[in-house]
Amino acid sequence: MKNIVILTGAGVSAESGLGTFRDAGGLWSQHRIEDVATPEGFARDPALVHRFYNARRVQAAKARPNAAHLALARLQTHWRGRVTLVTQNVDALHEAGGARRVIHMHGELAGALCAACGHRWQAPDEMSPGQSCPRCAAPKGRPDVVWFGEMPYRMDEVLTHLAEADLFAAIGTSGTVYPAAGFVEDAAHAGAHTVELNLEPSSVVSSFAERRFGPASRIVPEWVEELLGRAT
Ligand code: BJW
């Protein structure tokens, strides 16, 4: 077994204090998806959307990586083959835990994007409506995140890694948002062993060959130690 592809979701950061989306009390129980996570919502009320992301940017800056982030970074360092980390999360906790070359398929809270020319820059702590682009000066700054109806980032790269995967793991994701929810099928089709690590079964649990349930801070380090022990 050489190539490992790992997909992470909000559950991997839950024990760092960042709320998930769909759990009880999660972000989508406090905000309407159509208002804060679609381009149409942003066009209607950019101030509301900026408030939502400004608050999450502040919260994410205070969060610290937990044992799951640290274990995945350790796997990347010690595994003899390739470990590709694809995250749906917009926080930087994988990097803070020591992971490298993380693919942020749904963007990053730390980034700003010009909706007019596509230029990207470091987001200020507080973004506001009409934020002007440092390159083209259009008042079209927005958070550099992927909303419903938009194309996730670096999909060609992700699909190539999935096609070459020997092992695919999904960690802390509900399996309700595509295309990420379909990665297990892509990896299985390529012949990879597939494993779900989650607090509870996801919507696509039946697609996985192996399942492990519990808090990420416990089950991810256990799984990583097993893999590294098996490889040495
Ligand atoms: C723990 C834990 C602990 C808790 N330990 N676990 C019909 C079929 C197919 C697709 C579609 C369809 N209709 C519409 C679509 C497309 C749409 C979609 O999927 N909609 C569904 C709702 C049906 N998708 C899109 O629009 C995407 N773009 C797209 O498809 O483009 C076209 C395309 C075509 C072909 C190829 C490629 C592209 C874009 C989706 C963008 C999603 N954006 C968001 C916001 C990002 C910015 C932000 O953060 O605000 O991304 S929405 C939100 O959901 C966020 C997340 O990344 C994403 C996934 O959530 P996640 O991570 O799974 O979190 P939760 O809360 O759902 O789950 C947490 C899990 O953790 C739970 O299972 C818990 O049990 C667990 N957990 N504590 C371990 N301690």
Q: How confident is the model at residue 232 (pLDDT cuts 50, 70, 90)?
A: low
Q: How far is the CA of 30 from the centre of ligand 1 (A)?
A: 17
CB of 145 sitting under 6 A from ligand 1: yes
Angle at 56 between CA 155 and CA 17, to 5 degrees: 95
Could you list the beta-strand ranges (E) of the chain. Answer: 4-8, 83-87, 103-104, 107-114, 120-122, 141-145, 167-171, 193-198, 210-213
Atom of ligand 1 nearest to the CA of 53: 50
Give percent of the chain with pLDDT exceeding 70: 99
Mutate which of 59, 178, 211 for ligand 1 pocket (most atoms within 8 A of beta carbon): 178
Instruction: Verify whether residue 193 is a known catalytic residue.
Output: no
Ordered by where they begin, the domains of the chain are 1-17+64-106+152-232 (3.40.50.1220), 19-62+110-145 (3.30.1600.10)
The chain-wide mean pLDDT, for the chain, equals: 97
Q: Does residue 226 have a pLDDT over 90? A: yes
